[in-house]
Amino acid sequence: MAWVLLVVAGLLEVGWSIGMKYSEGFTRPLPSVLTGAGIVASMLLLSCAARSLPIGTAYGVWVGIGAAGAAVLGMVVLGEPATAARIFFVCLLLVAVVGLKVTSGH
């Protein structure tokens, strides 16, 4: 169950990181409120997952999911450059996340 919470927390991190872009520096009320709610929910789920997972693993997976997801959505939704190098490094992030999961012992 901790892994499910952690993945959901990571997906929420993707949502709030993209939400920051749409909140325009927290000047737009609805995107700002949704972004804030995503931050709180993501942190709560991360802390719940960290009760039974090693914190280094939990935090690393959470950040990795968030970073990779934000980079992919940035390219797909926000029109950021989708160069071969960027895609390669996003793939490395995903390999690191899987590696942390496989070597966590949980």
Between vectors from CA 69 to CA 14 and to CA 78, what angle results, nearest 5°?
85
| Domain boundaries, given as residue ranges, for the chain | 1-105
Give the rounded percent of residues in the chain with a pLDDT score beyond 70.
99
H or E element that contains 26: none
Instruction: Return the structure tokens found at 54.
Output: 């090693």
3-state percent helix, strand, coil for the chain, nearest multiple of 5: 80, 0, 20
pLDDT given for residue 1 in this prediction:
94
- List pLDDT tens digits, range 36-79: 999 999 999 999 999 999 999 999 999 999 999 999 999 999 99
Write the burial class of residue 99 (CB in 10 Å: 0-12 exposed, 13-18 middle, 19+ buried).
middle
Cα three-residue angle 37-39-42, rounded to 5 degrees: 105
Task: Supply the pTM of this predicted model.
Answer: 0.89
